[in-house]
Amino acid sequence: MSTVLDRPTTTPTKGGGPRPGTPEKKRWGLTIVGTIVALVFLAPYLVMLGGAFKSRQEILRVPPDYLPENPQPGNFLSMWGTPETPLPDNLLSTVVISLGGTALALVAALPAAYYTARHSFRLKLPFMLLVLITQMLQPTVLASGLFREFVELEINDTWLAMILVNAAFNLSFAVWIMHSFFATVPKEIEEAAWLDGCSRGQSLRRIMLPLVWPGIVTAVIFTFIACWNEFAASLILLPTDTNQPLTVALTRFIGQYESAWQYVFAVSIIGILPVVALFALIEKHLVSGLTAGGVK
Amino acid sequence: MASARNTALRRQARRQTTLQALPWLAPALILIGGVVIFPVGYMIYTSFRDLSRFGTDRGWAGFENYARVFGLNHLSTVLTNTIIWTVGVVVMTVLVSLVLAQFLNKRFPGRKILRMVIIVPWAASVVMTSTVFVYGLDPFYGIINKFLVDVGILDEPYGFLKNATSGFYSAAAVAVFVSVPFTTFVVLAGLQTVPHDVLEAASIDGAGRFQTYWQVVFPMLRPALAVAAIINIINVFNSLPILKTMTGAIPGYDADTTTTLMFKIIQNDRQIDTASALSVVNFVVIIVVIGIYLRVVRPMREVSA
């Protein structure tokens, strides 16, 4: 008995990547490679962070320094009152458009996702196909049509226009991801709740909601980030500087002759940090939602 | 007679289920109808109208707008650029992502942190990421230029974004950089569908590492690669912010794709009618790619009717 146990384990562990049997040394070697890869992916954002703390003179110095010599955290305060762009308005635009777009997308997507996951009807496949095709379209290619439509409706250059655009083009992701979560909840659970005297609304709130919550959170966060980062449609549909979101306003700091790079980077830092934090929360659900189940 | 009545009843029941579905789908349908389908139609309509610079409709234009698009002197350059841009960026993105996903599929300390780091360019605004490169590649105060000189790759700083050719390829490199994270995660999801016992069987049969990869793993990655490639083709073809920020200041059209050209026609020339004609052409290209996607990937196979 003990002889069997004492025998050194020499089963080949090729193929599926290092398993517990792999020597520690090799795994730490991978960590070193991983650190280099991480630095490559972070490099632009480190340049951004350093630049946000440089003074105007220092960021235009020839040759440049890698790190700020005399860090200027004051850039994060003074950027709100520069002549280039009304930054407080731009932040407000980004926040209002993102919240409005997300709310509208959710209100439209939630009932559709629930119903298509629970019931079969003749037009279900055509509907899901329509949703899928919308997911692959982008406002970029429809910019001139959207512009003409909103001019006719007299809502061009308003937050409402961008709320509608963002909600419509992100609706499909929200429908897909929530549909897939609703579909995993067995019908029997819901029916059991009805038998126990729950109303349809009660069973939705008490039984379904907790089970599909991760799907709703993923839909909300992803839509919010997509609205937050939107650029092409805002560029065409929002000509007035006070209506423009951060992504469009940012380009105003870059002039043909003089650029306020320290502000470009300070604005970018506050534009990027919140969405990266949110994105990390939903990363594991994204692939299945974005590929509509094309990859399992 | 009985069967005829049955059919009628069944048809009525069917119509009822569709009617019952309607309130649940209505908000989504109204949004898609009003903000996606209607603008497509309006864009096609506009492409056959004659609009003034201030948007006044001066009547039917026939194919004049299309003739103007196809008569542009720089059109052949722009079309060539569009093909190089789309194919080049997508091929490079897929190659880098295949290697990176293979790496992330291994177990090592810090793997989770690396996954989080790779997310950053995916989550971050593409305009914001591109502006760092506009600054970094400046020949005078650019940090990337300084780094390339310091490590000995360049003898002296180079004005990457001062001419159309090098500006275009620099922008393409940035496009690869921002497309790699999504693609890597899709490939990684594909790698996780490769069963362990298949890999073990291959190694027992004496297959080497490369042989295992090419003959066992790679064929199983095909669905993931098809999805990643097609979604990337659409995104890269539609991409505006990278070229707009990096080469937008270069005069002329030597660094333009059909998408950036369309935006220049809207913003600089204020010709919404001509821009619509070009958009319709772009739209047809995208619809063809979507058609290929639906045929090849069949993404909806899990949706039961």
Residue A181: exposure state from Cβ atoms within 10 A (0-12, 13-18, ≥19):
buried
Q: How far is CA A264 from the centre of its chain?
A: 21
B199/A15 touch (CB, cutoff 8 Å), yes or no: yes
Tokens of A165: 């655009």
- Among A169, A291, A123, A171, CA closest to B296: A291
- Is the Cβ of B291 closer than 8 Å to some Cβ of chain A? no
B113: which chain A residues are within 8 Å (Cβ-Cβ)? 38
User: Which chain A residues contact residue B190 at CB under 8 A?
Assistant: 295
Q: Phi/psi of residue B109, each to 5°?
A: -60, 130
**Contact criterion met (CB < 8 Å) for A296 and B189:** yes
Taking only residues 193 to 252 of chain B, the set having a beta carbon closer than 8 angstroms to any beta carbon of chain A reads 193, 196, 199-200, 202-204, 209, 212, 223-224, 226-228, 231, 234-235, 238-241, 245, 249
Interchain contact B95–A (C-beta under 8 A): no
Task: Look up the ipTM and state it.
Answer: 0.89
Q: Say what the pTM is.
A: 0.89
3-class SS at B51? strand
B253 to B7, B51, B82, B261: CA distances (angstroms) = 63, 24, 12, 8
- Please list the pLDDT of chain B residue by residue as tens digits (305 residues): 556 677 777 777 666 677 888 899 999 999 999 999 999 999 999 999 999 888 888 889 889 999 999 999 999 999 999 999 999 999 999 999 999 999 998 888 988 899 999 999 999 999 999 999 999 999 999 999 999 999 999 999 999 999 999 999 999 999 999 999 999 999 998 888 888 888 888 878 877 888 888 888 888 888 888 888 988 999 999 999 999 999 998 999 999 999 999 999 999 999 999 999 999 999 999 999 988 888 887 776 666 54
Tell the residue number behind the tokens 């609703």, with chain if given.
A182
Structure-token pair, residue B9:
């009843």
CB distance from A279 to chain B under 8 Å?
A: yes
Provide the token pair at A5.
Answer: 């146990």
Distance from CA of A47 to the nearest CA of B (A): 7
Residue A174 CA to residue A220 CA, distance in Å, equals 7
Q: Phi/psi at B44 (nearest 5 deg)?
A: -65, -45
Q: Quick check: B305 and A114 CB within 8 A?
A: no
pLDDT at position B3 is: 64
Per-residue pLDDT of chain A (296 residues; tens, 9 = 90+): 333 333 333 344 344 444 455 566 678 889 999 999 999 999 999 999 999 999 999 999 988 999 999 899 999 999 999 888 999 999 999 999 999 999 999 999 999 999 998 888 888 889 988 998 888 888 999 999 999 999 999 999 999 999 999 999 999 989 988 998 888 888 888 788 888 888 877 877 888 888 888 889 999 999 999 999 999 999 999 999 999 999 999 988 987 777 899 999 999 999 999 999 998 888 877 776 676 655 54
d(CA A294, CA B269): 41
Question: What DSSP state is assigned to residue A81?
Answer: G
* pLDDT tens per residue across span A28-39: 889 999 999 999
Q: Which residues of chain A are within 8 Å of residue B154 when distances are taken between CB atoms?
A: none
User: Does A62 contact B at CB distance below 8 Å?
Assistant: yes
- Spatial separation of the C-alpha atoms in residues A58 and B292, rounded to whole Å: 51
Q: What is the DSSP string of A219-272?
A: HHHHHHHHHHH--HHHHHH--SGGG--HHHHHGGGB-SS-B-HHHHHHHHHHHH
Q: Using CB atoms and an 8 Å cut-off, which of residues 190-219 of chain A contact chain B?
A: none
- At A155 the three-state DSSP class reads coil
Question: Which tokens belong to A123?
Answer: 């037009």
By DSSP bridging, strand B49-51 and strand B57-60 are: antiparallel
Asked if residues B248 and B255 have their Cβ atoms less than 8 Å apart, the reply is no
- B154 near B148, Cβ under 8 Å? yes
Distance, in Å, from the CA atom of A67 to the CA atom of A261, rounded to the nearest integer, reads 14
